[in-house]
Amino acid sequence: MIALILNAIPGELWAALGAFLAAALVWLVGRRGGVRKARDGARKQAVQDYRETTERMRDADTIGGDDADWLRKRSDKR
């Protein structure tokens, strides 16, 4: 039964359907790559922000005593 239905569809329609599926596949793969690239960029930025914050915590000014000692202790916990 299915073979009869598939044989009834003309070859040109199969070609058009194949081209449509190929275009959809290319679009989806490109979209997925863009999402992955954006996610990796955000992850790299988060790591850079973390490093900068940790450096600021370690280099905190301690004018007038050990006011910033809690910052250094907190950075050591991470």
Q: Each residue of 8-66: pLDDT tens digit?
A: 888 888 889 999 999 999 999 888 888 899 999 999 999 999 999 888 877 766 555 55
- Report yes or no: 70 and 49 within 8 Å, Cβ to Cβ: no
Give 2's pLDDT tier (boundaries 50, 70, 90).
confident
pLDDT beyond 80 at 74: no
> What tokens were used for 73?
């202790």
- Report yes or no: 19 and 43 within 8 Å, Cβ to Cβ: no
Query: According to the model, what pLDDT value does residue 26 have?
Result: 92
Instruction: Give the separation between CA 27 and CA 23, rounded to whole angstroms.
Output: 6
Query: According to the model, what pLDDT value does residue 77 have?
Result: 65
Query: According to the model, what pLDDT value does residue 39 have?
Result: 93
- 29 by Cβ neighbours in 10 Å (0-12 / 13-18 / 19+) ranks as exposed
Query: According to the model, what pLDDT value does residue 57 have?
Result: 74
